[in-house]
Amino acid sequence: MDAGTLRRTWLAQGRADVPADAIEAGLWRALAEEAERLEPVAAVRHNRRPGLLAMRDGSITSPQRCTVHPGAEALRALAQSKTLADVAAEATGARSMTAIRFGFKYYRPGDYMHVHRDDGKCEITFSAALTPGLGSMGWLPNLRWLTTEEVVERLAGTPYPDGDVFPVQYRALTGFDGSRIPHWRTPLDGPSREVLVTVCFTDLSV
Amino acid sequence: MDTSALAERLPARTAWEDTGTVVLPDVLAPDRFTALAEEAAGRLHLVTPHVHDHTAAHRDGSFATPVHCGFIPPGPVLEQLAYDKPLLMALREATGIPRLIPRGGAVVLYRQGDFQGLHTDSSKSTVTVGIALTPDLPPMGWAPHLRHPDGRRLADVVAEHGIFPTQEPFTTLPHPYNDGSVRAFAGYHFAHWRPPLPVAAGLLVTMSFMDL
């Protein structure tokens, strides 16, 4: 895929499809093993405060429950991947991008994430499934350019709005404009726990 | 795990959240100051105008009113200082923000009459370090009573006090000049401004640091 396609897709749709060969198979295996190994020491993230809370930085927080870990060597290797940083820069039009947040998210049956917008510093967020049964995420790309207040007003009563499907693929990264596009994950329906890996980038230049 | 336990803070962090500013002593040796000042003087021809004539509340929570000054891109001396490890460690300690990372710096050139109206910085500028390179640079305007102000609140301030408020509790923050110390301030969390410069010219180094 050429850089022009990445940029056009980002501008029009708020997403960036990372080429399949950007991350080598060995790193995916290492990530899966690392996630398994760290799960016993992962922290439960359970925000119970009901409703949508508009933050000054443009993010919107809402209830969620999952388990998280910031990862180790394999995840650092993914976050520091030059290929991934280049995709992030080409898509967003930034001069250079730096990974600032990354982690494994473990979803057990019933775990969920109400509709929200990410931290305003996250200019592009990549995610991929490390297990085959994770399923897609919901998102509302049409609300990408609305203000924080407008989004809160529209979605206040709907933790899982009637929206579009964002593909979270097994061992393939997709980037999206998570600080602008409201997104959510309905309670995990199935017998097994599933694992997501996520990396967000920002342009640190002044 | 209950995440509220993670909110436990260092005393330095509490003071920083409360006042939004701190002066760090003994972080800028005289020879380094001289090198910075000489470098800036040698790069005046690289200045590009930084001029806006609008007022805007941005999505990231920052706020802008008109500005009229110039930016000089950093030379090697400033680049080295902006990414200097001992300075970063001193800043982390003084602010109590352990995950502070450097973003770089620039020199701001004010000619007589140049100004920066009341504003808050980008959400990425958690900590800004300002170093006066000229001895008669007047202090910066500062609103210590407005913590984490949103655009609505700052628009009200401008409506009542203009873009260069002076009445108490609005106050000023002086920049130390060549005494080894530097001024750090929370540019995203506190509104600040610089009234029209009364002298011929002023130079200010700014360096930005982000809390991950």
pLDDT of res. B41: 96
| B56 at interface of A, judged by CB pairs closer than 8 A | no
For chain A, give the percent of residues with pLDDT over 70.
99
The answer to whether the CB atoms of B124 and A56 lie below 8 A apart is no
pLDDT of res. A20: 86
User: What residues of chain A lie within 8 A of the CB of B3, using their CB?
Assistant: 43, 45
User: What residues of chain B lie within 8 A of the CB of A120, using their CB?
Assistant: 59-61, 123
B60: nearest CB among A45, A58, A206 = A58
Tell me the shortest Cα–Cα distance from B78 to chain A, in angstroms: 13
pLDDT of res. A50: 92
pLDDT in tens, B81-122: 999 999 999 999 999 999 999 999 999 999 999 999 999 999
pLDDT in tens, B10-65: 789 999 999 999 999 999 999 999 999 999 999 999 999 999 998 999 999 999 99
How much is the average pLDDT of A155-168?
Answer: 95
- Asked whether residue B6 carries a pLDDT value surpassing 70, the answer given is no
Angstrom distances, CA of residue A17 to CA of A2, A163, A195: 11, 20, 20
The answer to whether the CB atoms of B3 and A43 lie below 8 A apart is yes
A107 close to A196: Cβ distance less than 8 angstroms: yes
- Asked whether residue A5 carries a pLDDT value surpassing 60, the answer given is yes
User: What residues of chain B lie within 8 A of the CB of A182, using their CB?
Assistant: none
Q: Specify the residue for token string 């439960």.
A: A44
Q: What is the set of domains in chain B, with CATH numbers? A: 21-211 (2.60.120.620)
pLDDT of res. A135: 87
- Asked whether residue A184 carries a pLDDT value surpassing 90, the answer given is yes
Residue of B2, B4, B60, B101 best to disrupt the A interface, most CBs of A under 10 A: B60
- Asked whether residue B7 carries a pLDDT value surpassing 70, the answer given is no
Tell me the shortest Cα–Cα distance from A1 to chain B, in angstroms: 31
The answer to whether the CB atoms of A121 and B103 lie below 8 A apart is no
- B107 Cα distance to chain centroid: 11
Angstrom distances, CA of residue A204 to CA of A96, B189, B212: 8, 18, 11
Please tell me the pTM assigned to this model: 0.91
pLDDT in tens, B191-210: 999 999 999 999 999 999 99
Q: Sorting pLDDT into bands at 50, 70 and 90, what band is B1? A: very low
B123: nearest CB among A45, A121, A205 = A121
- Asked whether residue B5 carries a pLDDT value surpassing 50, the answer given is no
The answer to whether the CB atoms of A120 and B212 lie below 8 A apart is no
Q: Which amino acid is at A203?
A: D
The residue ranking higher by pLDDT, B1 or A100, is A100
Residue B194: DSSP 8-state: E
CATH code given to domain A3-202: 2.60.120.620
For chain A, domain boundaries: 3-202
pLDDT in tens, A11-29: 999 999 999 889 999 999 9
Q: Sorting pLDDT into bands at 50, 70 and 90, what band is A206? A: confident
- Comparing CA positions, the residue from A94, A105, A53, A97 lying closest to residue A79 is A97
pLDDT of res. A1: 54
pLDDT of res. A89: 97
Angstrom distances, CA of residue A185 to CA of A105, A114, A146, A166, A168: 12, 6, 21, 10, 11
How much is the average pLDDT of B164-172?
Answer: 96
A204: nearest CB among B61, B103, B123 = B103
DSSP, collapsed to helix, strand or coil, labels residue A138 as strand
How much is the average pLDDT of A162-188?
Answer: 96
pLDDT of res. A103: 97
Tell me the shortest Cα–Cα distance from A59 to chain B, in angstroms: 8
Nearest chain B residue to A68 by CA: give it: B1
Residue of B207, B210, B211 best to disrupt the A interface, most CBs of A under 10 A: B210
Tell me the shortest Cα–Cα distance from B162 to chain A, in angstroms: 23
Cα-Cα end-to-end distance for chain B = 22
User: What residues of chain A lie within 8 A of the CB of B106, using their CB?
Assistant: 206
User: What is the C-alpha to C-alpha distance for residues B48 and B40, in angstroms, rounded to an integer?
Assistant: 14
Nearest chain A residue to B101 by CA: give it: A204
pLDDT of res. B3: 52
The residue ranking higher by pLDDT, B9 or B7, is B9
